[in-house]
Amino acid sequence: MLLFSFVSIFSILYCLLIIIYTSVLEYGLYSSSSLMN
């Protein structure tokens, strides 16, 4: 039971990390493309 809760918390944190990483990456690409234009 403890292992299951640990895995669920880890998966939630992993999903949040992916969302933050993709949003930062898109923001970086957007700012760099706007600087190019």
At residue 37, does pLDDT exceed 70?
no
Residues 9-34: pLDDT tens digits? 999 999 999 999 999 999 988 888 88
Instruction: Report the distance separating Cα 30 and Cα 37, nearest Å.
Output: 11
Which pair of tokens denotes residue 2? 């403890």
Local confidence band at 36 (pLDDT 50, 70, 90 cut-offs): confident
pLDDT, residue 31, reads 85
Predicted local confidence at residue 9, as pLDDT: 97
In angstroms, rounded to a whole number, what is the distance separating the alpha carbons of residues 15 and 36?
31
Dmax of the chain from CA atoms? 54
